[in-house]
Structure 1
Amino acid sequence: MLALQLKHGCRRNTLRITTLPQARLRHDNTRSRDPQIGLTTPVPDDHPLRPSPSPFYFAAGYAGWAKRASRPFPPPFFSPPSGSFSDPLSTHNRSQDRRRASVNGHMIRGVTVGDDAVLVSDSLVGANDGVGAWAQRERGCAPLWSRLILHYCAVAAERDGYGGKEGDGEGKPEVLVRYLGEAYEQTKEALSGANEWLGTTTASLALLHYRLDGGGDGGSVRPVVYVAQLGDSKVMVVRPREKRIVFETEEQWHYFDCPRQLGTNSPDTPEGNAVLSTVEVEEDDIVLAMTDGVTDNLWVEEISETAVTSLNGWHEKMREGDDDAEGHLAEGMRYVAQEIVLAARKIAEDPFAGSPFMERAVEEGLAIEGGKPDDISVVAALCKKRKG
């Protein structure tokens, strides 16, 4: 019974995997071929500034490309007032990105990319992968699940001082799972009753904090990243000066192409299944949060190489233009995220390319070749020390 319940929430079954190459390459020509890009994701205009007590911050940007247009958020999560009596009351055929989505009167944090959602701030980044198969259900809306869980995580982190309030010293890594647990419960409540919408999502979060080495005036402060992972999205830490991967999360699966996920019919919970890691990092390390649209199409070595090469290329361009590279680091990380998205999309649309997804499918005895068309989302964040 468990497997039958989960199958409704998993991405695809073996009948849908073996599609023709022509069908896999089909896309909506009305949408831009350029990735969706940005720096920090929006916060409300009246949002009170509650900076992290950490002396370190993320210079970050994001990029994403959706394999198909996202299902619009339904009312009341996205229902702006009508301009006149002749205007349609429904927002079914309007892009949700044209106006700000809200929950309980508050703007929903983050950005939607197809069924994915990303969150970018100077202390917390995340990438959630909403399971697209829910779009086939009458009340399925996976983007709501992926986005709301990130939203409530951001609110919980802000309220708690990003893992440790000013003067508390070092934080505790387990707070990140607590944030995810609170977000999951609040999302379930928001999407129940009269506003019931079905869906599931993976989750990956990275919170930048710090560690005190030694004591007294001679002690030093070092950055650490707390990572919470549930499912097959991934967090990676890349050290450009050594050109190596410092850390990467491992995917969690129920069975092939059915990752652990939070939401409708899934037994997985943050407290029971999220994997928590504490990663010691250095200034100028790159932290990547990605959905499986990246990792199903690029091997981790390719992701790392693309991140380092694109960052170095961006620095070269800035030097040639005699610009202030340090003052535009977030734009550089946006460029890094965009280059990773473009590299993954190239493989995803190639029916003859080798890919990690194809390799895993062959191991399962499935005749699949080429990349895997999917939503592709990347947050790229550079660890830096605050001035002053």
Structure 2
Amino acid sequence: MPIAMPIIALARPRPARAPPSRRAKTRARVVLARAASLSLCARGANAPHPDKTAKGGEDAWFARVDATRGGGVLGVADGVGGFNDQGVDPGLYARVLAHEALREIAREGETAAKDAMAAAQRETKIPGAATMCVVRLDGDVLRCANVGDSGFRVVRDGRVVGASTAQQHYFNCPYQLAYAELAKDGDSASDAEEFEVKVRVGDIVVLGSDGLFDNVFDEEIAAVATEAYGRASDEASGAGAAAQALVKVARGHAEDKKYDSPYAREMAKSETDKGGAPKAVGLFGGLNKMLGGGSLGGKMDDITVIVAGVVQTSESREVLASASASCDANTEALAKARELASIEEVKVQRTVALRKEMDAAFKESVAASEKKSKAIANAKPEFTRAQVDSMDAPTIRKLLQERGLPSSGKLERLRDRLAEVKAL
């Protein structure tokens, strides 16, 4: 379905501005005084799965870089590809989830990562599911909330000094967020694991979907990010270069059928592959090693990486502004996805409303049936045993026929049957 394009008005000359008032100057000084001393200078990069290039893949990301207030928030959401089999685009769910998290952060300001994730899940009311990782710089502490197998790493002096861990129900089945009305037994933001890492100027924060972590070990992530970041002319350029370099390395490993990837190692040590099929080891795994293969290779997937350098806010306003402008285009793309999803959201709300009506009707029917059964169980017999025993066979058969009950058989059985009739 085509996306409605916004109407662009012609720009008009701006009237000359009056000099800022004393109150405005004071307000500006207060904002600067309250600015966090450290900031995340971030840029992102993405490489869709080759089969999903036309729709831009199924990952989404966001970054809030503030040259005035400092701090910063990063997030990545990875749509669960299994929904494609149901005719649902999981990429749209991931983009709306990212949009709603960013909107909550912009609205509330100091929103905790887990709270932003909870608001995003609550407001993303369309089919689909996604893993999600959100990190926020609070002073000199990086706080993270993670659901699923996306994640973050903090790199310092060429090595990883902080990291999240993956949440999985079983191998290759990560925890995932979905609209609660469509997934009553699904995971939620309340299940998110939370992490804290104390950071300092010069640290490099790497946030990524599992397309990165399934294909690149931490040691290589640290080496590639450090090398690319260090060669750049400034922190904004360094973040962009490092993100691109990590995407390139991850895609190269994904295409290498002999690469001993993190994904291959995880598969080899798991008891089951994809929650039921026997793992791909044993005779054929051993034969593969004898022939020089050595592993199952990388995992082809969407790959999304955000890299952020930790900088001193007061000394880096220019590069922070540059990074912020670079992230704005991605933010606008998320907003367009949100507009597109509003059509699907209306359909979902109708479905949810209909389902609730059907559930209510079913509960009412069950309640009525239970009430009737209870009334029957508590009702007194229509005839006492003494009355039944005093009746002859023709009378008993007639009474049974009038009540729609079988009237053939031995007399004693007929007496027992009539004695069981309730007076309703």
Query: TM-score normalised by the shorter chain: which range applies?
Result: 0.5 to 0.7
Q: What is the Cα deviation at residue 160 of structure 1?
A: 1.4
Of 143, 160, 165, the match for 1:226: 143
Provide the residue aligned with 2:303 in structure 1. 376
Q: What root-mean-square deviation, in Å, do the aligned CA atoms of Structure 1 and Structure 2 show?
A: 2.3
* 1:232 and 1:253 in contact (8 A); partners too: yes
Task: For 2:207, give the aligned amino acid.
Answer: A
Provide the residue aligned with 1:351 in structure 2. 257
Provide the residue aligned with 1:84 in structure 2. none
The aligned length equals 255
Provide the residue aligned with 2:248 in structure 1. 342
Write the mapping of 1:73-88 to structure 2, written as runs, cut at 5 A: none
Provide the residue aligned with 1:267 in structure 2. 186
Q: What is the Cα deviation at residue 152 of structure 1?
A: 1.0
Greater gyration radius: 2
Q: What does the per-residue CA deviation read over 1:313-355, in whole Å, with 9 as the maximum and x for residues that have no partner?
A: 33xxxxxxxxxx3xx4212111000000111111100111110
Q: What is the Cα deviation at residue 54 of structure 1?
A: 2.3
Q: What is the Cα deviation at residue 135 of structure 1?
A: 1.5
* 2:229 and 2:235 in contact (8 A); partners too: no
The answer as to 2:167 corresponding to 1:185 is no
Task: For 2:117, give the aligned amino acid.
Answer: L
Of 67, 77, 89, the match for 1:128: 77
* 1:53 and 1:161 in contact (8 A); partners too: no
Q: What does the per-residue CA deviation read over 1:220-271, in whole Å, with 9 as the maximum and x for residues that have no partner?
A: xxx21111111000111111xx322121000000011000001153521111
SS of structure 1 residue aligned to 2:268: helix
In structure 1, C-alpha distance between the alignment counterparts of 2:264 and 2:96, rounded to whole Å: 31
User: Which protein has greater RCO, CA pairs closer than 8 Å, 6+ apart?
Assistant: 1
The answer as to 2:163 corresponding to 1:237 is no
* 1:162 and 1:207 in contact (8 A); partners too: no
Task: For 1:126, give the aligned amino acid.
Answer: G
Provide the residue aligned with 1:247 in structure 2. 162
Q: What is the Cα deviation at residue 301 of structure 1?
A: 1.1
Q: What is the Cα deviation at residue 290 of structure 1?
A: 0.3
Write the mapping of 1:196-235 to structure 2, written as runs, cut at 5 A: 198-210=127-139, 223-235=140-152
The answer as to 2:278 corresponding to 1:360 is no
SS of structure 1 residue aligned to 2:149: coil
Task: For 1:128, give the aligned amino acid.
Answer: A
Q: What is the Cα deviation at residue 53 of structure 1?
A: 4.1
Write the mapping of 1:41-190 to structure 2, written as runs, cut at 5 A: 53-68=35-50, 70=52, 113-122=56-65, 123-138=72-87, 140-163=88-111, 175-188=112-125
Task: For 1:154, give the aligned amino acid.
Answer: L
SS of structure 2 residue aligned to 1:129: strand
Provide the residue aligned with 1:99 in structure 2. none
Task: For 2:280, give the aligned amino acid.
Answer: L
SS of structure 1 residue aligned to 2:314: coil
* 1:230 and 1:275 in contact (8 A); partners too: yes
Q: What is the Cα deviation at residue 69 of structure 1?
A: 5.6
Task: For 1:258, give the aligned amino acid.
Answer: C
Q: What is the Cα deviation at residue 63 of structure 1?
A: 1.0
In structure 2, C-alpha distance between the alignment counterparts of 1:279 and 1:248, rounded to whole Å: 8
TM-score normalised per structure 2: 0.57
In structure 2, C-alpha distance between the alignment counterparts of 1:293 and 1:57, rounded to whole Å: 26
Provide the residue aligned with 1:308 in structure 2. 226
Identity, % of aligned positions: 29
Q: Which runs of 5+ in 1 are unaligned?
A: 1-44, 72-94, 97-112, 164-174, 192-197, 211-222, 315-324
